[in-house]
Structure 1
Amino acid sequence: MKNKNSFIPIVLLMFGLSSCNDFLDVPSETNLTSATFFSSQTDFEKAVNGAYMPLRGLYASGANAATGSWLMGETHSDNTRYKYSPNYRATIDQENINDFMVTPTNTAVLNKWQGYYSVIARANQILATIDGVTFDAAKKSNLKGQALFLRAFSYFDLVQYFGKIPLHLVPATSLTDVSLPLSEVNDIYNQIIADATEAASLLPAKSAQEAGRATSGAAKTLLGNVHIVLKNWSAAESVLKEVVNSAEYSLVPNYADVFSTTNKNNSESVFEIQFRQGTDGYSSNFIYAFFPMPISATELTATMAKYGVAPAALASLTQEGYNIPTTDLIADYEAGDERLAASIGTATASGVDYPFILKYLHPHTTATFTDDNWPVYRYSEVLLFLAEALDEQGKSTEALPYLNEVRDRAGLDDVISAANLRDVIFHERRVELAFENKRWLDLARTGRAVDVISAFGAKVKANPQGYYFPAGQQPVPASFATIDLTFPLPAAEAQLSPYF
């Protein structure tokens, strides 16, 4: 698919063969096709497993850190920065996302686009064929619900980051199917709501579902999130109360334990991306992109040992660190907030102390093959979403218990007054959900992005050493000049489509 012209002979051949004898329409008995593969419950179970798979690539780091969703959700905000390395200049795309200089050729942008459309394509194949195959009705509902959830989840992320995008709802069988016009944002949201609503009706509760898979609670939380973004406050309140009243979820008493690798898919987990340490391709590794670099093996060993981690095969990290907490974020934690020590630690790199994301540092056997899952939705966010939905309807007094349930777990006093509750909830989301890819989307959806990031960018330029630039180095003049609310459509995809 590198050149549109390369499709022409294939398409002509396809249409030419279609007029030949009927025997050409018989599915191959030796090669797997959609006609021969999707014929049993087991086949659909395998297909649904495959639909989840691209999510690991979207949330992990890999050899190329540009695959991390955290680049567009966290570093593209005032929560985190990169530690500029003048000796490692192979990372311009990541820096440009942090500096608000994103172009259509940015690899992280392309990776997000391709990753989610891979999920969508796999979900579409399942949804197009599952009703035509007979097997256990409950199993079918579960599998169909998971596919609908994954498609809705993928489109929701894409529309928030890109705006107008192509809306693929059936498997592509021709060049026409591959290249679709950009759909209006409202049409995309309508489809997301339809998919998430149907998924919620088909999926089992968390207590009846295999750990790590989408549930009715996850679909309802997604639906509540969509309504929050669209400012459908009453609809958000209704569906989020269903999650709360289900009694399927509760806050883990100790904040740090929420993220422990010995406590995956816990009572607070609504949906998280599954990883497993080891060399079989299922491990995570984002913490190794988050350390300040360059950092020697000795310094890395000492830092990890300080937090009870001692993997084998540690080596120096010599590239450039990302997602390093800003002093602005650190200052936003209230005195006594137990989440600060659970979320942010200190690492010594090249003899200098830097903050780093402690939330994702846990014991693992071998360096770079970590066991951490990535939290997408937690019950604490459900509570904060519900508080926001109530406050926006003038029900501030009703909102306070949900907000305070989150604060109580953090060791903080209850909020008593409903004055300026919108800002209080916004602040609470920042510290409760730090480093979970929420900050940029929160800034954009609440209309704060331009003001907050413009002020933040001015601070970075005025004091680059305070934002991890070495002496004598500073951001390029064009950084933070334009604060766009959506990312550009990938140039590599534009070359394959006449519509953008």
Structure 2
Amino acid sequence: MKTIAASFLIVLLINALLQSCDNMLEVDLPANQIATEYVFNNLQSADAALASLYGNLRDNSPISGGAGGSGILLGNYTDDLDCYSPAGESTGIRDLYLNIQNDSNAAVLGYWTAAYKEIYMSNAIIQGMEQSTGISEKDKGRIIGEAILIRSLIYYYLMQVFGDIPYTTSTDYTMNSSLSRMPTSDLKIRIKDDLITALSLIDDLYRNTERIFPNKKVVQLVLAKIYMSDQQWDQAEALLGDILSSPLYSLEPDVNKVFLKSGSHILWQIKPKNANDPTQEIQSLYFVNAAPSRYALSPSLISSFSVEDKRKQNWIAAVTVGNNTWYRADKYKNRTTNATEYSIIFRIEEVYLMMSEVLAKQNKISQALPFINAIRGRAGLSAINDNITADSLSNEILLENRREFFTEMGHRFLDLKQAGRLQYLVTDKPNWKSFSALWPLPQKELLLNPNLNPQNNGY
């Protein structure tokens, strides 16, 4: 954390005020760096700082669709992607694929560093807005609420990947550079409290019709994830039920339209940096007319689909070169000019499967089935009948999550972990060990801040 703590405010100001916020907002910005006090006493520049936070979220964070995001790194780490990077490459992704990462792994350090940069930028915005006297209370609340949500989501991913981690709401460099790790149980309490605060600050109404900024229902979804990780099924059920009852959302019936930006099934998505750019998922996962040089979908994933599954037919593409055939993700289609696709972070299908899971955990089988069957029916699969046991239904939900969300947001890792079934990976990942459930803390961070010790078990 110390490696980035000193520079995060500079990064925030430069990105927000000198680069026009990557076109996320149309604002006229001064040509020189200006005082933090001015940034947060002017709505235009405060929104620009918030837009810079979203820009970093898109480009390099745990929820980015790019090479350093959870969708690719955790798909590579589990059994959804095969890695074709050469042995000895310096990025660390091949060692993650082989489950032989150590504390000097470059991808692990990059994930940690990008996440804490996002956290520090969120803290700077929250602190600046709390001290602001030039912005209305409503706008202050909106900006604070969105920054809290982003910070909470990043903490959620860090907690899942690293376990006990430092938690801070401060911008104080001296304090942040010597923080100890907070136990996961305490961290969850902090995240819950933060998200409850965000619920009171963010409206249901989207502030952009393309849903590129989160609303209150996104906060509820993230909070439901935290409740589920604590097996607080009834609390999660209440939040998910409120999302499902909203007129804002409906299940997209056509699998060919799920990754179009205009759907009412989308809760939150992030637009590309420039108009007509392809999504980062396309840039990171696409290959055609050649053997893969980075990733291909794993045989294990491909075999999880039945022939009649429309997702296999429409979201997966075969690439044959000579006598060899590989498969790639084909969810996003626009490889060159793109006017119809944004990177989806959350969509209503996830809420359906989460609701099915929380109801199954409470042995409410008949209530759980319509949600998973809606997902199966759209894919052209037969419905699950009501003589299924709760354990068997949980297995089916895990499979549907895999088929529905491969390469998205690190779903496979998170879903296996939630189900307590990460050990199943040993079938396809022979180096998988029990301690692989967590990554090592980066050696560089441990050397700079000994208070982060002890290292995670196994490393």
Q: TM-score, normalised by structure 2?
A: 0.84
Aligned residue for 2:314, secondary structure, equals: helix
The alpha-carbon deviation at position 206 of structure 1 amounts to 4.5
Cα RMSD over matched residues?
2.8
Change (3 A) 1:289 1:193: same
The one-letter code sitting in structure 2 at the alignment partner of 1:53 is G
Q: Quote the Cα distance in structure 1 between the aligned partners of 2:309 and 2:429.
A: 27
The one-letter code sitting in structure 2 at the alignment partner of 1:414 is A
1:273 corresponds, among 260, 270, 273, to: 270
1:390 corresponds, among 353, 359, 379, to: 359
In structure 2, the residue matched to 1:415 is: 384
Trace 1:479-498 onto structure 2 (pairs within 5 A): 479-480=431-432, 483-498=435-450
Change (3 A) 1:320 1:444: same
- Contact 1:217/1:270 (8 A) holds in 2: yes
- List 4+ stretches of structure 1 deviating above 4 A: 1-4, 59-62, 206-210, 276-279, 369-372
Aligned residue for 2:139, secondary structure, equals: helix
- Contact 2:50/2:147 (8 A) holds in 1: yes
The one-letter code sitting in structure 2 at the alignment partner of 1:454 is V
Change (3 A) 1:125 1:208: closer
Question: Is 2:314 aligned against 1:348?
Answer: no
The one-letter code sitting in structure 2 at the alignment partner of 1:429 is N
The alpha-carbon deviation at position 55 of structure 1 amounts to 1.5
In structure 2, the residue matched to 1:465 is: none
Q: Quote the Cα distance in structure 1 between the aligned partners of 2:350 and 2:310.
A: 17
The one-letter code sitting in structure 1 at the alignment partner of 2:193 is A
Trace 1:166-185 onto structure 2 (pairs within 5 A): 166-172=166-172, 174-185=173-184
Change (3 A) 1:176 1:199: closer
Q: Quote the Cα distance in structure 2 between the aligned partners of 1:31 and 1:378.
A: 38
Aligned length: 419
Q: Map Cα deviations across residues 34-90 of structure 1 (whole Å, 9 max, x no partner).
A: 23332122222112111112212235577xx4x23234321111111113646xx42
In structure 2, the residue matched to 1:43 is: 45
Q: Quote the Cα distance in structure 1 between the aligned partners of 2:255 and 2:3.
A: 50
Larger Rg: 1
- Specify every segment of 5 or more residues in structure 1 that has no aligned partner in the other structure, as ranges: 8-29, 301-316, 459-478
Aligned residue for 2:407, secondary structure, equals: coil
Q: Quote the Cα distance in structure 1 between the aligned partners of 2:434 and 2:182.
A: 25
In structure 2, the residue matched to 1:125 is: 124
Aligned residue for 1:270, secondary structure, equals: strand
In structure 1, the residue matched to 2:404 is: 432
Change (3 A) 1:488 1:38: same
In structure 1, the residue matched to 2:102 is: 103
The alpha-carbon deviation at position 435 of structure 1 amounts to 1.4
Question: Is 2:416 aligned against 1:443?
Answer: yes
- Contact 2:279/2:332 (8 A) holds in 1: no
The alpha-carbon deviation at position 269 of structure 1 amounts to 1.1
Change (3 A) 1:392 1:291: same
Change (3 A) 1:176 1:84: closer
Q: Quote the Cα distance in structure 1 between the aligned partners of 2:181 and 2:98.
A: 28
Change (3 A) 1:46 1:416: same
The alpha-carbon deviation at position 134 of structure 1 amounts to 4.0
In structure 2, the residue matched to 1:54 is: 56
Change (3 A) 1:363 1:432: same
Question: Is 2:344 aligned against 1:375?
Answer: yes
- Contact 2:2/2:445 (8 A) holds in 1: no
Change (3 A) 1:200 1:266: farther
- Contact 1:120/1:154 (8 A) holds in 2: yes
The alpha-carbon deviation at position 217 of structure 1 amounts to 0.9
In structure 1, the residue matched to 2:246 is: 246
- Contact 2:65/2:279 (8 A) holds in 1: yes
- Contact 2:50/2:125 (8 A) holds in 1: yes
Q: Quote the Cα distance in structure 1 between the aligned partners of 2:207 and 2:319.
A: 42
The alpha-carbon deviation at position 290 of structure 1 amounts to 2.4
In structure 2, the residue matched to 1:402 is: 371
Aligned residue for 2:269, secondary structure, equals: strand
Question: Is 2:436 aligned against 1:499?
Answer: no
In structure 2, the residue matched to 1:147 is: 147
- Contact 2:278/2:334 (8 A) holds in 1: no
Aligned residue for 1:183, secondary structure, equals: coil
Change (3 A) 1:440 1:416: same
- Contact 2:53/2:122 (8 A) holds in 1: yes
Aligned residue for 2:451, secondary structure, equals: coil
Q: Quote the Cα distance in structure 1 between the aligned partners of 2:86 and 2:151.
A: 39
- Contact 2:3/2:445 (8 A) holds in 1: no
Q: Quote the Cα distance in structure 2 between the aligned partners of 1:43 and 1:203.
A: 20
- Contact 1:148/1:196 (8 A) holds in 2: yes
In structure 2, the residue matched to 1:308 is: none
In structure 1, the residue matched to 2:17 is: none
2:293 corresponds, among 296, 299, 320, to: 320
- Specify every segment of 5 or more residues in structure 2 that has no aligned partner in the other structure, as ranges: 8-31, 453-459
The percent identity for this pair of structures is 24
Q: Quote the Cα distance in structure 2 between the aligned partners of 1:188 and 1:257.
A: 38
